Chains A and B, each alone.
Chain A
Amino acid sequence: MTFWIAVGSLCAICGILALLLVIADGYLNNYGICKLTINKGSKEAEVEGGSTLLSSLNSAGLFIPSACGGQGSCGLCKVKVHAGAPPVLPTEEPHLSKEERESNVRLSCQLKVHNDMEIEVPEELFSIKEYKGTVESLTDLNHDIKLLRIALPEGEEIDFIPGQYIQIETPAYKKTPEPVYRAYSIASDPRDKTHLDFCIRLVPGGICTTYVFEHMEAGNPIRFNGPYGDFHLTDTDKDMIFIAGGSGMAPFLCMLAHIKNEGITRNVTYFFGARSRRDLICLDKMAAFEKALPNFKFVPCLSEALPEDNWEGETGLVTDVMSRHCPDLSNMEAYLCGSPGMIDASVAALTSKGMPIENIAYDKF
């Protein structure tokens, strides 16, 4: 009998302790409403504490660029936090220089809002908006790249600079519990302010691209924000080289449309790298640009041309082909978009041929 009383008492004590823990957790993790003061009061927002600063700012209508969707890998979502932030977190350290730490720069996707904060962001971010559009079409460009075309809502328009990107939301689906964002360069003609095009390459196992390839359909609603980025054509008269591979085609479609619209007569040579003929995209569009722009030349280059390709064009590494076509690069500019490996190889090749590093612009996520 005494034994059962002891067991019962122990169970009761454990139950009370568990209840106290649940109640305490509710209080301890309830940060209440926190006030965000932005740019010395230019904008103020009250947000529910506990979320990341990035998502809190998003919910307050202030969109901070983030190419990785808040995973702490791109380092683009930096803001200055002058008050209310804890010490720098280990996940922020790789992205912050000594100077940035001294001037209170933080990675907003890693920092959680637990109290009132004073924040400083570039003024131009105030003009970035969120849009709710519709998927107008999804077209295969090749076996692993699709062209996504989004229509803006009736009566809405978007202005952007050729080379900029948009953050597209993938809604929660299957086992992905919450929406995630990824950045995609705009591929469409900047004169058309009611539609946006994107080239999206399938990432095996990727949450967002798998959604685009397997679940997205024409007519679906789609949420996005932007535009972001400072990858754009300079206002000089220098000859230009474009280098891209795969879905890196996107910003150059947009830039070439801009060059055509504005009657720009600068010489442009575009080197596009692919493995075999099946990996090439937008050949018809490139032929149309060559016809419309007398100073534009498109040079596709295959690294693994197959016998059945009957390929008579350039082969080998894009960087080698570029070196053959352009022996002296000292007075030219280069624009690159592609994978990190491609960008690094291109920068090395361009600088070895005399191109000043400041004449090279790239989009490397």
Chain B
Amino acid sequence: MKENPASKTIRDRLEPGALSVEGFLGHDDRPLADIIAADTGEVEAAGLTVEQLGAFLESLHEAADSGWEGRVPLFDGRIRVRVTETLGQTPCPFACGAHSHKAVVEVFDDKEQVLLRFTPLDAHLIRNHGFFEGKGAPYRIAPAELIELYRLCME
């Protein structure tokens, strides 16, 4: 798929050094539209939507926020969530006007194994732009992992 000038501008904001040290693309050199199409396609094939998954992550962050950086049990103890917050906000690299607090949310299973790590910006990017970050990016969420976590909590 060809990359248009608008997505080229966004891609520049996703590169290392623009909004974060490592950027959002990792070693993924596919056009941005292809990255998004592949990941959203995987979500839709599972019978879900990116809006559902993004909203799910937002709900986990909100719950974690109540725990003062301690673990908060959710979904009958099937998972526990914990946030590490720092001061400041990051603007959306898609320049939609949204800003997300700088934080890392960890999701643990009932054996204290980390199932997922994500930032509030990830939740926004998935929900509003269908973007899970490029392969090799520090905070990329593989759609399959998120779908599995979603099903663990919802079923």
Binding site for B on A (CB under 8 A): 67-68, 71-74, 90-91, 93-94, 174-177, 182, 201-207, 209-210, 245-248, 273-275, 303-304, 317-319, 338-342, 344-345, 365
25 contacts between A and B (CB under 8 A): A68-B88, A71-B91, A72-B97, A91-B95, A94-B97, A94-B99, A175-B23, A176-B21, A182-B88, A201-B86, A204-B104, A204-B138, A206-B20, A207-B17, A209-B86, A246-B86, A303-B67, A304-B69, A304-B70, A339-B87, A340-B85, A341-B65, A341-B66, A341-B101, A345-B66
> What residue in chain B is nearest A172 (Cβ atoms)?
B17
B22 touches A341 (CB 8 A): no
CA distance A105 to B95 in the complex (A): 21
* Contacting pair A206 B17 (CB below 8 A): no
Q: Is residue B83 within 8 Å, beta carbon to beta carbon, of the partner chain? A: yes
Q: In chain B, what residue has the closest Cβ to A90?
A: B97
B88 close to A365 (CB less than 8 A): yes
* Contact call A205/B67, Cβ cutoff below 8 A: no
Known A175-B15, A175-B17, A205-B138; judge A303-B97 contact (CB<8 A): no
CB pair B16 A175 closer than 8 Å: yes
Instruction: Known A73-B99, A273-B68; judge A201-B17 contact (CB<8 A).
Output: no
Chain A residue with Cβ nearest B98: A94
On B, residues with C-beta under 8 Å from A are 15-17, 19-23, 64-71, 83, 85-91, 95, 97, 99, 101-104, 138-139
Once A175-B15, A339-B85 are accepted as A-B contacts, the answer to whether A317 and B67 lie under 8 Å apart by CB is: yes
Assess whether B17 is in contact with A177, with CB atoms less than 8 Å apart.
yes
Q: Nearest-CB distance from A345 to chain B (Å)?
A: 6
- Bound-complex Cα distance A176 to B15 (A): 10
In angstroms, Cα B67 to Cα A317, docked, is: 7
**Are A206 and B86 neighbours in the complex by a CB distance under 8 Å?**
yes
Do B88 and A342 touch across chains, with their CB atoms under 8 A apart? no
CA distance A245 to B85 in the complex (A): 10
Bound Cα distance A207, B67 (Å): 27
Known contacts A71-B89, A205-B139, A273-B68, then 10 further A-B pairs from the complex at CB < 8 Å, ordered by chain A residue:
A71-B99, A175-B21, A176-B21, A202-B86, A204-B138, A206-B88, A245-B69, A338-B85, A340-B101, A344-B65
Contact of B69 among A177, A209, A275, A344 (CB under 8 A): A275
A26 nearest CB across to chain B (Å): 20
Known contacts A72-B91, A339-B86, A342-B85, A304 near B20 by CB under 8 Å = no
Is there an interface contact between B88 and A319, defined as CB atoms closer than 8 Å? no
Q: A73-B90, A204-B104, A342-B85 are in contact. Are A319 and B20 (CB under 8 A)?
A: no
Chain B contacts for A303, CB-based, 8 A: 67-70
- Across the interface, do A207 and B21 meet the contact criterion of CB distance under 8 Å? yes
Q: How far is the CA of A205 from the CA of B20 in the complex (A)?
A: 5
CA distance A342 to B65 in the complex (A): 7
CB distance from B60 to the nearest CB of A (A): 13
Residues of A within 8 A of B103 (CB): 339, 341
**Min CB distance, A364 to chain B, in Å?**
8
What are the 8 A-B residue pairs with the smallest beta carbon separation, nearest first? A175-B17, A303-B70, A339-B85, A341-B65, A73-B89, A73-B99, A205-B20, A176-B17
A207 to B15 Cα, complex, angstroms:
13
From A73, A201, A203, A204, give the contact of B91 (CB < 8 A). Answer: A73
Q: Which of B16, B17, B70, B88 is the one whose CB lies under 8 Å from A203?
A: B88
Of all chain B residues, the one with the shortest Cβ separation from A69 is B88
> Whole-angstrom distance between the alpha carbons of A246 and B20 in the complex?
21
* Distance A249 CA – B82 CA, assembled complex (angstroms): 21
CB distance from B150 to the nearest CB of A (A): 23
Given contacts A175-B15, A177-B17, contact A203 B86 (CB under 8 A): yes
A94, A202, A303, A345 pick with most chain B CB within 10 angstroms = A303
Which residue of chain A lies nearest to B103 when distances are taken between CB atoms in the complex? A339
